[in-house]
Amino acid sequence: MGTEISEPLILDKESIDDGAGIESELVPEWKDQITIRGLVVSALLGTLFCIITHKLNLTVGIIPSLNVGAGLLGFFFVKSWTGFLTKLGFQVSPFTKQENTVIQTCVVACYGLAFSGGFGSYMIAMDERTYKLIGADYPGNRAEDIKNPGLGWMTGFLFVVSFLGLFSLTPLRKVMVLDYKLTYPSGTATAMLINSFHTHSGAELAGFYFDFSPTYVGCGLICPHIVNCSVLLGAIISWGFLWPFISAHAGDWYPSGLESNNFKGLYGYKVFIAIALILGDGLYNLIKIIYISAKEMCNKSTKLSKLPIVNEVIDNESSKVLAEQRKRDDIFLKDRIPTWFAASGYVALAAISTATIPIIFPPLKWYLVLVSYIIAPALAFCNSYGTGLTDWSLSSTYGKIGLFIIASLVGSDGGVMAGLAACGVMMSIVSTAADLMQDFKTGYLTLSSAKSMFVSQLLGTAMGCVIAPLTFWMFWTAFEVGSPDGPYKAPYAVIFREMAILGIEGFSELPKHCLALCFGFFIGAFLVNLLKDVTPKEISQFIPIPMAMAVPFYIGAYFAVDMFVGTVILFIWERINQKDAEDYAGAVASGLICGDGIWTIPSAILSILRINPPICMYFGPSLSS
């Protein structure tokens, strides 16, 4: 028998008070949004989600967003517990949507370290099993560049690198959420789910949330049309023209017969051209933010204009909607995190990390760590901006940038170990920064304090520094992790070690014309953004976004069609009934994302228990006789 819940999980339509709105809603102080019961639930769910993440990381190497599952299970556990205590006659404090949001934020921060901690990539690439798998006689693969997993050093490493990302972009939260109006699809979907459980608004739409439908169609419904079209255009350019063209030169531009993940072949073009597009777009917008900010400091009357994504026209909005918007903005900006605090925290943690990391990884010298921390905020901005557009965090791609560059600088004497460690430094910063900004978006939509979001991220990160290594150790001791014949092959371990080996020989080892193509796409991304800003709005609204175009270059084209289907559905819906599209599209999109997100949990648990489906179906081309 399950625990009885004394209050309904979803409000009935009849219980809705049409006169109430968020403008009259009482919001707890930020300290009251963080509770002991919430932290206990966060630790339990963080452990569960770390296990799921490790399992996925060590098998397929792709981790979907579990934000939605964290929000739902956090609600279920606390609501069950408070209902049980109420039945026993205990007085319990009400469970608010702000506390629910804090739990979700804490869980995401915790399990995020199971990914950015490199337990399926750079960290396990250092071990002896991966070294032997590549081959002792493989050029550049030295026995000296081995460091087997250990609870002590893994935990210590996570503690010194995982907190910096939280301080790197905090001053830009207003720019990313309010000014750029980035959608952060998973964060938006999670917020709508939490709101449907705790507020009257959206309750009648909650039935959508359990329709197990494709995630990316939902992303297409939430993301602006230009983002979805940019993703599709990027897929067409890369997989329709560029990759077939380069593949036709196999044997000339690069050796033919290479494996699909060999950086000396087509894979090298995919990774580095995507990186060039991302850096070109990110660098332009970073320069633009610095320029506008400096201009505002000189002239406070100047306001941000011509932002790259959304310029909302709210002339026709009702006064109620405007009041709700103002309240969200006021609460989001109320509990400020001082810029001096974020800056000094980053500098202090960078100093500690710069002194500590060379002790753990001697080949990675202190000055290389320092340089990494100087350039990391710029890369963190690029990743957070891209995540806000497409819901894809490319933290591993930015980690590969650090890996390749540092390995090239250190050379053959320790370059592999130094490159892999630098990859960990970079991945941790850009990943946690994107997660924090995603959670800021959720907090903004659920009227949660930015300060409580920041503190819960700190607490969740501290939990993850302990829970992520412990749960990984369970896999490491129970299975032959990394064995090609075992259930947990850790496919990315070999890729990351081979990339470090490639980095030792420098950019000269990249395939033919790769560097020239990268330079061309970098300049192209910069110029496209410039063109978007200098042309009239009726023209610029049709100019694609390079950051969104870059994702299918590296990830693949499979999700671009799904997102475009979502944008076509929304476009037709808007033409048929604009009002219904505005009211219901977000809820439908959230349902699509939530359905897939929630199913990830039981699916992964069944997979860990090695329970196979009773039947599998495959559709392939017919064989000609």
Integer Cα distance of 77 and 82 in angstroms: 9
Q: What b/e readout covers 250-264, taking b as 16+ CB neighbours within 10 angstroms?
A: eeebbeeebeebbbb
According to DSSP H, which parts of 335-394 are helical? 339-360, 366-390
Candidates 374, 23, 306, 398; CA nearest to 164 is: 374
What pLDDT score was predicted for residue 621?
53
pLDDT (0 to 100) of residue 604: 59
**Size of the chain in residues:** 625
Q: Name the packing angle between helices 151-161 and 339-360 (round to 10°).
A: 150
1 in a structural domain: no
Cα(441)–Cα(105) distance, integer angstroms: 11
CA–CA gap between residue 179 and residue 31 (Å, rounded): 27
**Residue 500 near residue 420 (C-beta atoms within 8 A):** yes
Q: 254 pairs with which residues across the strands? A: 250
- Helix locations, 491-513, DSSP H: 491-504
Residue 259 included in any domain: yes
Mean pLDDT in each 10-residue stretch from start to end of the chain (625 residues)?
32 39 74 93 91 80 72 86 88 90 94 92 92 81 92 96 92 84 82 75 41 57 80 89 90 84 80 81 74 63 47 54 81 86 94 96 95 90 81 79 89 92 93 91 91 94 96 86 81 81 74 89 91 87 85 76 84 84 68 59 65 59 50
**Looking up tokens 């919430």, which residue turns up?**
38
- Taking the C-alpha atoms of residue 485 and residue 306, their distance in angstroms, rounded to an integer, is 55
Domain presence at residue 287: yes
Collapsing DSSP to helix, strand or coil, 391 comes out as coil
DSSP SS3 for 542? coil
Q: Who contacts 441 (Cβ-Cβ below 8 Å, separation ≥6)?
A: 177, 182, 183, 184, 187, 188, 191, 388
Residue 13 has what pLDDT? 39
Within-domain flag for 184: yes
Taking alpha carbons only, the member of 464, 401, 528 closest to residue 46 is: 464
Residue of 178, 172, 171 lying closest to 307 (CA atoms): 178
What SS3 state is found at 254? strand
Q: If 0-12 CB within 10 Å is exposed, 13-18 middle and 19+ buried, where does residue 540 land?
A: middle
With CA atoms as reference, report the closest residue to 376 among 439, 438, 433. Answer: 433
Q: Can you give the pLDDT at residue 601?
A: 58
Neighbouring residues of 126: CB distance < 8 A, sequence distance ≥ 6: 145, 146, 147, 148, 417, 420, 497
Smallest CA-to-CA distance from 267 within 496, 559, 554 is with 554
- Calpha distance 423→157 (Å, rounded): 13
**Nearest to residue 559, comparing CAs of 527, 592, 588?**
592
HSE (side-chain half, CA atoms, 13 Å) at 73:
26
**Residue 400 resides in a domain:** yes
Query: Is there a domain that residue 464 lies in?
Result: yes
d(CA 434, CA 173): 11
Tokens of 43: 């630790």
What's the pLDDT score for residue 208?
66
User: Between the CA of residue 576 and those of 221, 247, 288, 571, what are the distances in Å?
Assistant: 15, 44, 38, 9
Contact 168, 429 (CB under 8 A): yes
Cβ count within 10 A of residue 423: 30
User: Is 210 part of any domain?
Assistant: no
Give domain status of residue 6, yes or no.
no
Residue the block writes with tokens 């990351």: 496
Supply the pLDDT for residue 113.
Answer: 95
68 lies in which domain range? 36-200+215-300+332-609
Q: Rounded CA gap, 70 and 53, in Å?
A: 13
Instruction: Give every CB contact of residue 337 below 8 A, 6+ residues apart in sequence.
Output: 170, 171, 173, 450, 451, 454
Gap between the Cα atoms of 383 and 552, Å rounded = 15
Q: Is the dihedral of CA 509, 512, 516, 517 positive or negative?
A: negative
In the block, residue with structure tokens 């939530």: 594
The pLDDT, as a whole number, for residue 364 is 95
Number of domains in the chain: 1
Burial per residue of 458-488, b for 16 or more beta-carbon CB atoms within 10 angstroms, e otherwise: bbbbbbbbbbbbebbbebbeeeebbeeeeeb
Pair of tokens at residue 232: 């599709």
